[in-house]
Chain A
Amino acid sequence: MIDLCKGDEDAFSEVIRRFQAPIYSMLIRMLGNEEDAQEMLQLTFCRVYRYRDKFDTDRKLVNWIFTIASNLAKKEWRRRSRWINVPLEHVNLTSPGKTAPHYNAGRVELRASIEEAVDKLPPHYREPFILREQEQMSYEDIADILNIRLGTVKSRINRARTRLRELLDDVWDEWK
């Protein structure tokens, strides 16, 4: 980051390479479609570059970039005032050339149901849940990224799980 602050172009390329996948993954879950996610992804890195001088070195770089992406996503929600579910095209529901055993088929079905259920969560529950489960972030980092208190992170993740449990109760029983 120090190199990036000095205007090192290679350092910027490295930042893009390192963080593009997790940021894109989060944005696509937040915004619900590839087009918006790609637009916000580009804007995120543009902001990283433009505001590199304002980066607080006491913070983690990953948290700072996630905060920028999260704020852009929130602005987009407000602007468009709409929520679209993530298309399930990213889920390989069938593996070509393979006949999956019954258990695995059920697991794939459960996975699709979980993905669908996650998309149904309200945004303020979905965001910390995704950061926790997909990005494996600590509660402290999530609190830092979303600029909320640690207790709020815990309660939102807990409520997200409660909601998911309600949504997936029947599917999980069948799968078991």
Chain B
Amino acid sequence: MNCTNAFKIISLVIDGEASEYQKRLLDFHLLGCSSCRKAISMCRDISEIAGKLPAPVPPENLESNIREMLKTKADISHQEHRFRNAFLAFPAVAALLIFALTVLPLSTEQEFITETQDIAMSMHESKSADINLSQKSGIRTAPLSDYSRQASLISF
């Protein structure tokens, strides 16, 4: 048996819940383990002192306070008040979440679209200087690559 298992039995021995077999196993382990001997001694002291810790004295007017609470139903309103707080807190959190999830991404997306549109327009304007003139029909057209780039940016 290792010390971890021994300590489990030590806890049971202190609480008086260990079986005879467990006690024998522990005795055998304690013969050769000084750290577990220290542990059982320490746990006994802790248990003894913790059991005698001074108990705080309840308030003297407890019963009258309880009867007053029952009479005025303050205990129910106490719960309702907490429920109301939770009830009010939920929509507030939900509203914040909706705002965070919808408005903020939309605004950034809108900014992005306007930015891309500006870029597309500036590119178009810069290239409009070298507009091609169709040799057959005489119609002035921009190069095909400009159209395709513009379309892809807008669709994006």
Binds A, one of B64-72, B90-98, B120-128, B137-145: B64-72
A23 nearest CB across to chain B (Å): 8
Name B81-121 residues within 8 Å CB distance of A: 82
Residue contact B53 to A161, C-beta cutoff 8 Å:
no
Q: Is the interface of B mostly helix, strand, loop or mixed?
A: helix
Q: With A and B bound together, what is the CA distance between A34 and B45 in angstroms?
A: 28
Q: How many of A's residues come within 8 Å of B, CB to CB?
A: 47
A149 nearest CB across to chain B (Å): 15
Which residues from B are CB-within-8-Å of A17? 63
Q: Mark A42-58, 1 if CB is under 8 A from B, else 0.
A: 11011101100000000
Which residue of the partner chain A has the closest CB to B51?
Answer: A133
Which residue of the partner chain B has the closest CB to A23?
Answer: B58
Q: Which of B47, B58, B59, B70 contacts A49 (CB 8 A)?
A: B70
A17 nearest CB across to chain B (Å): 8
Q: Does A94 contact B (CB under 8 A)?
A: no
Residues of B within 8 A of A (CB): 7-8, 10-12, 14-15, 17, 39, 42-43, 45-47, 49-59, 62-63, 65-66, 69-70, 75, 78, 82
Which residues from B are CB-within-8-Å of A13? 63
Given A46-B75, A168-B46, check contact A136 B51 (CB 8 Å): yes
Which residues from A are CB-within-8-Å of B53? 91, 111, 114-115, 118, 134
Which residues from A are CB-within-8-Å of B14? 161
Residues of A within 8 A of B (CB): 13, 16-17, 20-22, 24-25, 28, 34, 37-38, 41-43, 45-47, 49-50, 79, 90-92, 107, 110-111, 114-115, 118, 129, 132-134, 136, 139, 154-155, 157-158, 161-162, 164-165, 168-169, 172
Residue contact A24 to B46, C-beta cutoff 8 Å:
no
Q: With A and B bound together, what is the CA distance between A59 and B55 in angstroms?
A: 26
Residue contact B69 to A165, C-beta cutoff 8 Å:
no
Given A111-B49, A114-B46, A157-B11, check contact A34 B62 (CB 8 Å): no
Residue contact A46 to B39, C-beta cutoff 8 Å:
no
Residue contact A165 to B43, C-beta cutoff 8 Å:
yes
